[in-house]
Chain A
Amino acid sequence: MADSAIAKPTPASAVALSDVSIAFRLAGGGTYTAVERTELTVADGEFVAIVGPTGCGKSTLLNIAAGLIAPSSGRVDIFGSTLGALNRQAGYLFQADALFPWKTALENVAIGLETAGTPSGDARAQAQSWLTRVGLGSFGDRYPHMLSGGQRKRVGLAQVLIRDPKILLMDEPFGPLDAQTRQIMGNLLLDLWSADRKAVLFVTHDLEEAIALSDRVVIMSAGPAAHIIGDWKVPLARPRDIGEIKLDHAFHELHRDIWHTLKAEVTKGYVQTEGG
């Protein structure tokens, strides 16, 4: 990444992290620098995937963009204005189960609108149409524990998208799912995304998934003091089918190219995790 590209966030950037570092205070008294001096921009309408070895601070970066944690130093700009509190323009799809277990699928989806003051009846009608869009039209009265992992993710997706956020933050959302379900969910995501092209920041440890989904793939180094070590454009045409695109020649070229960089970091990451 060239230094000149980092200089100032353009107003068009949906998300711009400038010179962001995060350090945690350790119980023993020292500090642990998770992410060091990182620059990252996501343009409006751009789908960016962050890939990195386990424990490299990808999720931390996402939480900073969401405003859930404040960076130790550096700045976060959302559409040109500095982020001081929670990022109200972003929707966040979590890796772990984040649905409210005491609400039905329909209530879970409707709640995002109800908190914003939409009358309950209206919110429910919209929630029902969103459930239908994610293929769960007849599952509205189920509680989360009655749904499969993939179905829960669909509800989560509807819950986030119903608020129509300008930015979509996704933290390994399909991580716990099996390969087939992941592929179906990926296609569903692309399908929904193509309707209005929000800015997306998608964290994953799966390089194939990253290339298949995104416009840009960003590679992070192994922690501690993780930083961005590579940035690739994905020159694959849209609309894409995740299953088919993996057979594409250009996909393989890019995969080989990126994997070359990633492999060293993954190995390093493992050595550190095992050692620590």
Chain B
Amino acid sequence: MSRPQLTALQIMVAVVGIALWYALTTYPVFRKILLPPFFFSNPVDVADQIVVWFATGVIWKHLWVTLAESTLAFVLGSFGGVLVGFWFARQPRTAAVFDPYVKMANALPRVVLAPIFTLWLGLGIWSKVALGVTLVFFIVFFNVYQGVKEVSPTVLANARMLGMSERQLMRHVYWPSALSWMFSSLHTSVGFAVVGAVVGEYLGSAAGLGYLIQQAEGVFDVAGVFAGMFVLATFVIVIDFVVTLIEKRLLVWRPRVGDARP
């Protein structure tokens, strides 16, 4: 399938979906409206709501808050994950001691921590950042841990034979290997940073996309809920696109699937 053809089909899916949504919420089928607008709103109202948000500029503040929370959660969570991942991988005994607690903490559904964080850190952005960090940390931690442990023994032996000291091994072998694992989970960890931020906002906050959706829901403003969802989805797609760009730059050395050798 050629590129324009694919794009055309992709747009068609959206057009058909929205058309169906509009038709079923506006025109009766057998004298009955299948999707009552009270529960399903309709595309025109949702679009109106989005336009109003952008025209008045209220949305920017919320977008900014969510972006700030996600970014902070990602950066702090990754930093902690890299640090602890390296530490555990190089100190198997420490890893063994902490193993059950790491598993326990990771098994815990992080949403239940949200009230605690709100209690500790208030309704501002930090309680959301904390929730995001608990999600991002474990993904990065497990990947870095794996990356350091799964360095090919041959590459390691080669590095030793080439005269690398412990510090040089760290810099030239363990670090790049760990980073490559971390970057391979970049999409997931960035996604979870956003999830942490939005869920945190939804459960109690004064700003952000999660707050916007929660407010709309509170007054049965279904158009507002849908509009919030669309903005959020677009926001995530844009972030994901940026991550893809970064990934392409950082992992040039990695073969891509279906890459032909020149």
Q: Which A residues contact B (CB, under 8 angstroms)? A: 66, 68, 86, 88, 90-92, 94, 96-104, 111-112, 115-116, 143-148, 159-160, 163
Q: Are A111 and B162 in contact (CB under 8 A)?
A: yes
A143 contacts across to B, CB distance below 8 A: 252-253
User: Measured between C-beta atoms, what is the minimum distance from B175 to chain A in Å?
Assistant: 9
Q: Please, how many angstroms separate the alpha-carbon atoms of A94 and B154 in the complex?
A: 7
Chain A interface SS verdict (over half): loop
Given contacts A88-B163, A100-B172, A102-B253, contact A94 B158 (CB under 8 A): yes
Q: Please, how many angstroms separate the alpha-carbon atoms of A102 and B250 in the complex?
A: 10
A112 contacts across to B, CB distance below 8 A: 162-163
Q: Please, how many angstroms separate the alpha-carbon atoms of A100 and B161 in the complex?
A: 13
Q: Are B161 and A66 in contact (CB under 8 A)?
A: yes
Contact of B154 among A97, A111, A145 (CB under 8 A): A97
Q: Please, how many angstroms separate the alpha-carbon atoms of A97 and B161 in the complex?
A: 14
Q: Most B CB atoms within 10 A — which of A66, A116, A146, A160?
A: A146
Q: Are A96 and B176 in contact (CB under 8 A)?
A: no
Q: Are B161 and A91 in contact (CB under 8 A)?
A: yes
A103 contacts across to B, CB distance below 8 A: 172, 253
Interface string of B205-231 (1 = CB under 8 A from A): 000000000000000000000000000
Chain A residue at smallest Cβ distance from B164: A115
Q: Are B261 and A100 in contact (CB under 8 A)?
A: no
A100 contacts across to B, CB distance below 8 A: 155, 159, 172-173, 176
Interface size class of B (residues with CB under 8 A): 20 to 34
Chain B residue at smallest Cβ distance from A94: B154
Given contacts A96-B154, A145-B254, contact A115 B165 (CB under 8 A): yes
Chain A residue at smallest Cβ distance from B176: A102
Given contacts A145-B254, A148-B261, contact A163 B162 (CB under 8 A): yes
Q: Most B CB atoms within 10 A — which of A92, A102, A115, A116?
A: A102
Q: Please, how many angstroms separate the alpha-carbon atoms of A92 and B157 in the complex?
A: 9
Q: Does B168 contact A (CB under 8 A)?
A: yes
Contact of B158 among A90, A98, A145 (CB under 8 A): A98
B163 contacts across to A, CB distance below 8 A: 88, 112, 115-116, 163
Q: Does B90 contact A (CB under 8 A)?
A: no
Contact of B255 among A86, A111, A145 (CB under 8 A): A145
Q: Please, how many angstroms separate the alpha-carbon atoms of A103 and B172 in the complex?
A: 9
User: Measured between C-beta atoms, what is the minimum distance from A169 to chain B in Å?
Assistant: 8
Q: Please, how many angstroms separate the alpha-carbon atoms of A39 and B161 in the complex?
A: 24
Q: Are B253 and A98 in contact (CB under 8 A)?
A: no
Q: Please, how many angstroms separate the alpha-carbon atoms of A227 and B261 in the complex?
A: 43
Q: Please, how many angstroms separate the alpha-carbon atoms of A86 and B165 in the complex?
A: 12
Q: Does B185 contact A (CB under 8 A)?
A: no
Q: Please, how many angstroms separate the alpha-carbon atoms of A99 and B173 in the complex?
A: 11
Chain A residue at smallest Cβ distance from B159: A100
User: Measured between C-beta atoms, what is the minimum distance from A10 to chain B in Å?
Assistant: 26
A88 contacts across to B, CB distance below 8 A: 163
Q: Does B57 contact A (CB under 8 A)?
A: no
Q: Please, how many angstroms separate the alpha-carbon atoms of A144 and B254 in the complex?
A: 9
Chain A residue at smallest Cβ distance from B156: A98
B173 contacts across to A, CB distance below 8 A: 100
B255 contacts across to A, CB distance below 8 A: 145-146
Q: Are A94 and B157 in contact (CB under 8 A)?
A: yes
Chain B residue at smallest Cβ distance from A102: B176
Q: Please, how many angstroms separate the alpha-carbon atoms of A91 and B161 in the complex?
A: 7
Contact of B160 among A68, A102, A145, A147 (CB under 8 A): A68
Interface string of B247-262 (1 = CB under 8 A from A): 0000011110001011
User: Measured between C-beta atoms, what is the minimum distance from B48 to chain A in Å?
Assistant: 51
A144 contacts across to B, CB distance below 8 A: 253
A92 contacts across to B, CB distance below 8 A: 157-158, 161
Q: Can you pick out 10 interface pairs between chain A and chain B where the beta carbons lie within 8 Å of each other?
A: A94-B154, A96-B154, A97-B152, A97-B155, A102-B176, A112-B163, A115-B168, A143-B253, A145-B254, A163-B163
Give residues of chain B (19-48) contacting chain A, Cβ–Cβ below 8 Å: none
Chain B residue at smallest Cβ distance from A112: B162
A160 contacts across to B, CB distance below 8 A: 161-162
Q: Please, how many angstroms separate the alpha-carbon atoms of A92 and B160 in the complex?
A: 10
B152 contacts across to A, CB distance below 8 A: 96-98
User: Measured between C-beta atoms, what is the minimum distance from B152 to chain A in Å?
Assistant: 8
Given contacts A94-B158, A111-B172, contact A146 B165 (CB under 8 A): no
B165 contacts across to A, CB distance below 8 A: 115
Contact of A145 among B157, B168, B253 (CB under 8 A): B253
B262 contacts across to A, CB distance below 8 A: 146
List 19 additional A-B contacts (Cβ < 8 Å) besides A103-B253, A163-B162: A98-B157, A99-B158, A100-B155, A100-B173, A101-B155, A101-B254, A102-B177, A102-B180, A111-B162, A111-B172, A112-B163, A115-B162, A115-B163, A145-B255, A146-B261, A147-B261, A160-B161, A160-B162, A163-B163
